[in-house]
Amino acid sequence: MIKLGGLSTGHCWELFCRCAFGDGGRDPPPELAATGRAIVDKCRGVPLVVAVVAGMLYLETRLDYWDEVLNNAVWDFEEAEESVLRVLRLSYKNLPAPLKPCFSYCALFPKGHLFEMDCLVRMWVAQEHIAVDECYFAVHDLIHDLARTILGTEAVTAELEASTDANCTRFCTTSSSYVRHLSATIGVETRLSQLTLEPDCKPDALRSFLIWSGNRTSYIPKFGAYEILLVLNFQRDLFEKPHMQYLRVLDLSICKIPELPESIGGLKHLRYLGLACTDIKRLPRSVSNLCYLQTLDLRYCEHLVELPSDISRLTNLRHLVHGVIYKMLDGPVISISKMPAGIGRLSALQTLPLFLASRESGSAGVDELKELNDLRGELVIAGLQCIRGKRIGEAKKAELNKKKHITDLIFRWDLNYDDFNKNKEGSSQESQFKDDEDVLESLRPHISIRTLEIERYAGSRFPSWMVDISFENLVQVRLVDCNNCAYLPALGQLPSLRELEMLGMNKITRIGEEFFGDKGVIFPSLQRLLIMGMHRWEEWSFSRKEREILPRLHELSIVECRKITSLSLYDLGMLKKFRVSYCGKLEKIDGLESCLVAIEEKGRTSNRAGLAVEEKGRTTDHAETSRSAELREVGLSERQRLPAALEYIDIDGCPLLPKISIEPHK
């Protein structure tokens, strides 16, 4: 074993200055320097202690406060590990009062436990530790130990193994009546048909009860009636009968449970109900009695078929977390068939990842989004094929343009084009396409939107608002299987667009001026462009007209575009990655070499080793073409030259490409 020594005094002083003053570690004011060096000496070369103490003094210039830290009894220690905990405890004492209960709450999680920050924050909110309102992090051993020492006898943790009594596992041997938090880690072989406390353990005001298990079991502890219990977390064990009327947090995530008992409606103080990844099919109607409920987590509940019909009674609900489930083989799946009518009365909602339009009776129309102006983050509006005829007005009433906190918006039609002929309303295919155009035109989002995706849209033209340059925050657009659109919108005028993906789009035959627009720089911010599966696309055409085109494009991918015969890449001076795959009729690529020359001229050739045009799709630093067997020409005019740094050219599997003569540089 090698025992590491501490840092030298000089290194400790450098670390201290960097953590206490920032700005690259500038020296402290002269009046603080002597006290600072004395504090560093007391750290005994332990870097974590130095960093923690310096963090406490960050930008603090009062000499009396520095003297208070220097003369604190925390420095009376012998072992390095003891010094760390003592100093961390001192740091805890200097935390703002509202943060202290949040920190000590970490004692209830096992060491190294990974948890999602959003879930933890919502538990803090349920306990009223914080008001509200950013994803994984671990409880470090030292932080866990410090939180445990702060809670002292108020917290009891235990690691339980199999009991000699097959039907009973006992823990909590303390006789203190001041226990407020119980946390147990259950062994894999431990049976949980009955879990009881030792007779001497009689907590009068138990607030937290968390159970962590390594196995997904259908067994569940049976508890007595702890009337003051506020927190319960069975991460992997089935819940049967709640008797704890003051429970605030109930997290049953990953439990193998198909249903909840009606008695859950008696938990009048419940703020957080976590049911993620469970087998639950329906929620009991009594859930709507939980008038203080703030979070209902139904993520990845693939068996869930419906939400409570009277969910509108949950007037304090802020987070209804459910949505599309993405499966590797089946793709996106939505298990529920409708949103219950009245959901628009939940005006406190901030999180609603999915809103599903439906024709079923008792379902909410999209107009119920009108009052949900606090929605934020991602919103998927699916089932838009259901909005037909007289219901089109619902889309405009949704007033998406007033929802300034929504950052990611997905519009999704779930109807195949063959199904239009089966429409029950008997309307013509053309009128149905027109309905979709009117719906999407009415669903104009707020200008703060950052990402936009449109899937399976059946209209023949895109809405006018898509090319509005006031969408200054829009950085990503995806157009997926919009197979009835023959023309693309002029997205080239959007000022901040960085990523654009176009997949499907089977009626597009030409990409030209209508796509780029006719004003100023074309796609001034676009860095990544993917064109995939556009099987009828034949022509890439635009007039240069002394304008900049795609000045920042770094990555261009063209995949499975079977009819495209030529590409023009002139003036793409920032292009770093170019990929062409499964474009069987591609004969000519113009301007690729000029791109590489431009890269060279801007001093960006250090990692550029070669240009490849190949059959088998081997990836290189420059360019890749695969299965383009009819490629006949790689355009290189008399005035163009290849970059001086180019070491090789690999052209493979292109039998129709004639001989290329290249004069080497002199």
| pLDDT over 70 (residue 328) | no
pLDDT value at residue 403: 96
* Residue whose C-alpha is closest to residue 579's, from 602, 613, 540, 548: 613
Residue 221: which pLDDT band, with cuts at 50, 70 and 90? very low
Choice among 40-54, 297-311, 374-388, 598-612 with the minimum mean pLDDT: 598-612
In angstroms, the CA 211 to CA 108 distance is: 9
Q: Is this model's pTM higher than 0.85 or not?
A: no
| pLDDT over 70 (residue 482) | yes
In angstroms, the CA 609 to CA 66 distance is: 57
Residue 614: which pLDDT band, with cuts at 50, 70 and 90? very low
Residues 543-549, mean pLDDT to the nearest whole number: 69
| pLDDT over 80 (residue 435) | yes
pLDDT value at residue 39: 87
Which residues have a Cβ under 8 Å from the Cβ of 379 and sit 6 or more positions away?
352, 353, 354, 355, 403, 406, 408, 409, 410
pLDDT tens digits along 331-343 = 567 888 899 999 9
| pLDDT over 70 (residue 664) | no
Residue 652: which pLDDT band, with cuts at 50, 70 and 90? very low
Residue that has been written with the tokens 């519009």 in this structure:
411
- With contact defined as beta carbons under 8 Å apart, do 300 and 277 qualify? yes
Q: Considering the chain, what is the average pLDDT of its residues?
A: 73
Residues 254-271, mean pLDDT to the nearest whole number: 81
| pLDDT over 50 (residue 604) | no
Residue 453: which pLDDT band, with cuts at 50, 70 and 90? very high
pLDDT value at residue 331: 59
Q: Which tops the pLDDT comparison, 379 or 137?
A: 379
pLDDT value at residue 597: 41
Q: Which tops the pLDDT comparison, 373 or 609?
A: 373
pLDDT tens digits along 143-190 = 455 455 445 555 555 555 544 444 444 444 444 455 656 666 655 444
* Residue whose C-alpha is closest to residue 18's, from 46, 43, 53: 53
pLDDT value at residue 518: 76
Tell me the two tokens of residue 134: 């950013």
Which range has the top average pLDDT, 265-269, 533-537, 643-647? Answer: 533-537
In angstroms, the CA 478 to CA 353 distance is: 18
- With contact defined as beta carbons under 8 Å apart, do 301 and 280 qualify? yes
Which residues have a Cβ under 8 Å from the Cβ of 544 and sit 6 or more positions away?
570, 571
pLDDT value at residue 544: 61
Q: Which residues pair with 185 in a beta bridge?
A: 159, 212
pLDDT value at residue 146: 46
Which range has the top average pLDDT, 246-250, 296-300, 328-332? Answer: 296-300
In angstroms, the CA 175 to CA 202 distance is: 7
- Distance separating the N- and C-terminal Cα atoms of the chain: 62
SS (H, E, C) 378-439: EEEEECHHHCCHHHHHHHHHCCHHHCCCEEEEEEECCCCHHHHHHCCCCCCHHHHHHHHHHH
**Angle of the 9-21 helix axis to the 30-42 helix axis, nearest 10:** 120
- Fill in the amino acid letter for 17: C
Q: Which tops the pLDDT comparison, 345 or 39?
A: 345
pLDDT value at residue 269: 85
Residue that has been written with the tokens 């993405």 in this structure:
326
Parallel/antiparallel/unpaired status of strands 181-186 and 169-171? unpaired
Residue that has been written with the tokens 């006789």 in this structure:
175
Residue 239: which pLDDT band, with cuts at 50, 70 and 90? very low
DSSP assignment of 78-111, as one string? SSHHHHHHHHHHHHHHTS-GGGHHHHHGGGGS-T
Please state, in angstroms and as integers, the Cα–Cα distance from residue 329 to each residue in 86, 332, 456, following that order: 53, 9, 19
Q: Which tops the pLDDT comparison, 331 or 232?
A: 331
Tell me the two tokens of residue 470: 């006031």
- With contact defined as beta carbons under 8 Å apart, do 411 and 455 qualify? yes
- Fill in the amino acid letter for 431: S
pLDDT tens digits along 45-96 = 888 888 888 877 876 778 888 888 888 767 766 665 566 677 777 766 666 6
The pair phi, psi for residue 202, each rounded to 5°, is: -130, 75
In angstroms, the CA 380 to CA 459 distance is: 19
- Fill in the amino acid letter for 24: G
pLDDT value at residue 381: 95
Choice among 379-383, 524-528, 631-635 with the minimum mean pLDDT: 631-635
pLDDT value at residue 212: 57
- With contact defined as beta carbons under 8 Å apart, do 416 and 432 qualify? no
| pLDDT over 90 (residue 476) | yes
Q: Which tops the pLDDT comparison, 433 or 187?
A: 433
Residue 639: which pLDDT band, with cuts at 50, 70 and 90? very low
Residues 244-250, mean pLDDT to the nearest whole number: 73
Residue that has been written with the tokens 């889309």 in this structure:
395
Residue 417 CB neighbours (<10 A): 15
Which residues have a Cβ under 8 Å from the Cβ of 122 and sit 6 or more positions away?
272, 294, 295, 319
- With contact defined as beta carbons under 8 Å apart, do 236 and 255 qualify? yes
pLDDT value at residue 274: 87
pLDDT value at residue 105: 72
- Fill in the amino acid letter for 467: V
In angstroms, the CA 86 to CA 49 distance is: 9
pLDDT value at residue 633: 59
In angstroms, the CA 47 to CA 38 distance is: 15
pLDDT tens digits along 571-584 = 777 777 788 888 88
| pLDDT over 70 (residue 640) | no
Residues 545-560, mean pLDDT to the nearest whole number: 83
| pLDDT over 70 (residue 378) | yes
| pLDDT over 70 (residue 436) | yes
Determine what percent of the chain is predicted with pLDDT higher than 70.
60
pLDDT value at residue 443: 97
Residue that has been written with the tokens 């635009």 in this structure:
542
Please state, in angstroms and as integers, the Cα–Cα distance from residue 204 to each residue in 73, 226, 229, 268, 462, following that order: 35, 8, 9, 20, 64
